[in-house]
């Protein structure tokens, strides 16, 4: 391979799908993974690697969400011993997320093995354990935004704020030396500038290759003002129904934004008669990290907190209760009305939200509010699509609750915001689109060309490109 084509990028995940972010970069005889995320929804049982984990020299982690980080313990179990490069925010959040994911995984494995034992089938062995999680965490090397660091011979890395969640990063890699240097930019997940807490995604100017997400490549979000107005309409409707509101929310990012916006509404006098319950131990732990790292929030939102002399989101939202124990969570089943229950998981693939579905989804005065993307094959997507009956915990449950989707709360950039970010590059780089369903990526590719004459290729899993 000559110097002009000295680098290869192979798309191993999140190629025409939203989960399982993982891309292999081969350069200067070294192998780097950009993300190492789990699959969720359809095909999620397939978590095996198509490469030898021991042959990977380092992982560059864009952010902590499981679809970007969740297979790190499995990577370590397979023999990986390199560095995991990430931001400080990601390093602070990763122990919370990986330990919680392990707990849920082992619980589900115990349930499956009990079912297998009853059927006389061979039991499954765990694919990773707590030691693998601890080893993965020990490999993390955190850094701050905007700092150039050498991670290999003629391989230099800079993280930029992606504005998606705390610690989320745009990855900028400089490969080679002198005039032959090539710049690869991996967007990670780009944030929605209209939402709260996080700054706007950093605009970069120079690259030879751009790997860009396209989760919402086929549509724009409603304006945030319209989203808040719609949320207020849901509150009014649920109040008139003498009911409760269920909100499946990702423990990292979406939960903290919801608490902040509910705090704003509280101080505007719009939450009278409502109690807010954060029914997520992980969500509570993550919220504490967010509060400790308020210096990474958007300045305008820090100012709002200061205006009300609030050091924490609990102080900012006095009607908030964090239900840590199982007993406290179960007690919510007896609340007849006036409860806003925020619980994980965000796509309803696990967690306490499913137990609340069991107790409330069949009630006509329940309002179910989705505030984030629901991947194909997840329970959340099935409910958004209007299913009338689901099966949970071995029981059939009628869906009589009113279902609402508030896309303006999304932590992902909408189509126009993606286009604006892409247009910032002045070097006419080659674009490859990932982290989106096929229709969304095709729509984004067409829009990039029609608006900015940017030719973009929709990545295919297993395909490789040289540059």
Burial of 99 (0-12, 13-18, 19+ CB in 10 A): middle
Q: What is the pLDDT of residue 46?
A: 67
| Average pLDDT over every residue of 246-269 | 95
Q: What integer pLDDT is reported at residue 335 of this predicted model?
A: 96
To the nearest whole percent, how much of the chain has pLDDT over 70? 98
Nearest residue to 421 (alpha-carbon basis) of 256, 156, 215: 215
- How does residue 126 score in pLDDT terms, banded at 50, 70 and 90? very high
Q: Count of alpha carbons within 13 Å of 290, Cβ hemisphere only?
A: 29
Could you tell me the strand order of the sheet in which 140-143 lies? 140-143, 83-87, 58-60, 30-34, 22-27, 7-13, 464-466
Question: Is residue 220 classed exposed, middle or buried when 0-12, 13-18 and 19+ CB atoms within 10 A define those classes?
Answer: middle
CA pair distance 421, 191, nearest whole angstrom: 11
Across 322-334, average pLDDT = 95
Residue 43 pLDDT: 57
Q: Does pLDDT of 13 surpass 60?
A: yes
195 lies in which domain range? 3-218+417-466
Q: Give the list of residues 6+ apart from residue 67 with CB closer than 8 angstroms, or none.
A: 14, 18, 19, 20, 21, 37, 38, 39, 40
Residues 203 and 245 occupy one common structural domain: no
CA-to-CA dists, residue 220 to 4, 201, 420, 443, 444, angstroms:
38, 16, 12, 12, 11
269: Cα within 13 Å, side-chain hemisphere: 0
pTM value > 0.85: yes
For residue 375, the model assigns a pLDDT of: 83
Closest CA to 209 of 181, 189, 190: 181
Which residues are CB-neighbours of 339 under 8 A, at least 6 positions away?
244, 245, 274, 275, 277, 332
How do residues 154-173 score in pLDDT, each as one tens digit?
Answer: 999 999 999 999 999 999 99
Q: What is the CATH number of the domain that holds 62?
A: 3.60.15.10
pLDDT of res. 31: 98
Contact call for residues 337 and 243 (beta carbons, < 8 A)? yes
Within 10 Å of residue 198's Cβ, how many Cβ atoms?
25
- CATH number, domain with residue 337: 3.40.50.10890
Sequence-distant (≥ 6) Cβ neighbours of residue 125 within 8 angstroms: none
Location of structure tokens 């002009």: 4
Stretch (H or E) spanning 230: helix 224-240
Q: Looking at the structure, do residues 292 and 161 belong to the same domain, yes or no?
A: no
184 with 229, same domain: the answer is no
pLDDT tens digits, 228-246: 999 999 999 999 999 999 9
Tell me, yes or no, whether 389 and 318 share the same domain.
yes
How do residues 111-123 score in pLDDT, each as one tens digit? 999 999 999 999 9
305 and 172 part of one domain: no
Q: Are both 59 and 146 inside the same structural domain?
A: yes
pLDDT at 44: 56
Q: How far apart are CA 407 and CA 258, in angstroms?
A: 13
Residue appearing with tokens 């993390």: 140
Give the CA dihedral 457, 461, 464, 467, nearest 10 degrees. Answer: 40
Task: Please report the pLDDT score of residue 350 as a whole number.
Answer: 86
Helix axes 254-267, 224-240, angle to 10 degrees: 70
What is the reported pLDDT for 376? Answer: 86
Same domain, 424 and 454: yes
Are 453 and 34 in contact, with CB atoms under 8 Å apart? no
Cis peptide before 345 (omega within 30 of 0): yes
Looking up tokens 């930029």, which residue turns up?
A: 160
* Per-residue confidence (pLDDT) for residue 410, from 0 to 100: 87
Average pLDDT in the 371-399 region?
A: 92
Tokens of 335: 């609340």
**Cα–Cα distance between 36 and 249 in angstroms, integer?**
22
Least confident of 32-46, 47-61, 280-294, 440-454: 32-46
Residue 41 confidence (pLDDT) above 70:
no
Q: How far apart are CA 352 and CA 330, in angstroms?
A: 9
Helices (H) and strands (E) in the chain, counts: 14, 22
Q: Concatenate the DSSP letters of all residues of 149-214 into one string.
A: EEEETTEEEEEEE-SSSTT-EEEEEEESSGGG-EEEEE--SPP-TTSSSSPPPPP----SEEEEE-
pLDDT band at 1 (very low <50, low <70, confident <90, very high): very low
Say what the alpha-carbon torsion angle 447, 450, 454, 455 is, to the nearest 10 degrees.
80
Structure tokens belonging to residue 133: 């999680």
Statement to judge: residues 308 and 208 lie in one domain: no
Q: What average pLDDT does the structure give for the chain?
A: 95
CA distance 74 to 77: 5
Tokens of 203: 């605009």
**Residue appearing with tokens 């230099």:** 156
Q: Are 123 and 155 members of one domain?
A: yes
E strand or H helix at 315, and its extent? helix 313-316
- Position 209 pLDDT exceeds 70: yes
Pairing mode, if any, of strands 7-13 and 464-466? antiparallel
Domain count, the chain: 2
Q: Which residues contact 17 (CB under 8 A, 6 or more apart)?
A: 39, 375, 376, 436, 437, 461
* pLDDT for the residue numbered 330: 96
Does one domain contain both 401 and 427?
no
298 and 202 in a common domain: no
Residue 428 has pLDDT above 80, yes or no: yes
Whether residues 92 and 198 fall in one domain: yes
Phi-psi region for residue 161, left (φ > 0), alpha (ψ -120 to 50) or beta?
Answer: beta
Q: What is the pLDDT of residue 2?
A: 46
Please tell me the total number of residues recorded for the chain in this structure: 467
- pLDDT tens for residues 170-196? 999 999 999 999 999 999 999 999 999
């Amino acid at each position: 391979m000559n110097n002009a084509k000295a680098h290869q990028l192979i798309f191993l995940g999140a190629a025409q799908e939203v989960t399982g972010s993982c891309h292999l970069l081969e350069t200067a005889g070294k192998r780097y993974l950009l993300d190492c995320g789990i699959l969720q929804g359809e095909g999620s049982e397939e978590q095996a690697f198509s490469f030898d984990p021991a042959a990977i020299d380092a992982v560059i982690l864009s952010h902590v969400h499981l679809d970007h980080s969740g297979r790190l313990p499995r990577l370590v179990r397979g023999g990986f011993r390199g560095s995991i490069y990430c931001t400080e925010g990601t390093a602070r959040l990763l122990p919370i997320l990986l330990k919680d994911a392990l707990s849920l995984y082992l619980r589900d494995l115990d349930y499956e093995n009990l079912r297998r034992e009853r059927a006389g089938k061979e039991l499954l062995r765990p694919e990773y354990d707590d030691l693998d999680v601890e080893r993965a965490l020990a490999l993390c090397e955190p850094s701050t935004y905007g700092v150039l660091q050498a991670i290999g011979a003629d391989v230099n890395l800079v993280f930029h704020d992606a504005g998606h969640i705390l610690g989320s990063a745009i990855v900028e890699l400089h490969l080679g030396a002198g005039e032959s240097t090539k710049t690869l930019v991996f967007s990670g997940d780009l944030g929605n500038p209209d939402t709260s807490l996080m700054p706007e995604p950093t605009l970069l100017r120079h690259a030879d290759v751009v790997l860009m997400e396209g989760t919402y490549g086929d549509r724009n979000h409603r304006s945030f003002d319209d989203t808040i107005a719609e949320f207020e309409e849901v509150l009014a409707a649920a109040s008139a129904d003498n009911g409760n509101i269920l909100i499946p929310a990702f423990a990292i990012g979406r939960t903290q934004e919801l608490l902040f916006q509910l705090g704003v509404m509280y101080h505007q006098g719009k939450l009278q008669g409502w109690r807010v319950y954060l029914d997520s131990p992980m969500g509570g732990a993550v919220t504490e990290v967010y509060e400790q790292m308020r210096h990474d929030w958007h300045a305008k939102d820090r100012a709002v907190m200061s205006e009300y002399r609030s050091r924490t989101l609990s102080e900012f939202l006095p009607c908030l209760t964090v239900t840590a124990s199982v007993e406290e969570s179960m007690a919510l089943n007896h609340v007849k009305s006036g409860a806003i229950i925020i619980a994980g998981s965000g796509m309803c693939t696990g967690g306490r939200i499913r137990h609340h579905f069991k107790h409330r989804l069949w009630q006509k005065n329940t309002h179910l509010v989705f505030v984030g993307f629901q991947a194909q094959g997840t329970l959340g997507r099935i409910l958004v699509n209007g299913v009338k009956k689901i099966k949970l915990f071995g029981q059939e449950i009628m869906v009589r609750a009113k279902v609402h989707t508030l896309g303006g709360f999304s932590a992902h950039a909408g189509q126009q915001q993606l286009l604006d970010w892409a247009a910032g590059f002045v070097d006419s780089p080659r674009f490859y689109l990932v982290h989106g369903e096929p229709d969304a990526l095709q729509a984004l590719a067409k829009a990039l060309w029609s608006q900015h004459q940017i030719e973009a290729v929709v990545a295919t899993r297993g395909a490789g490109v040289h540059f």
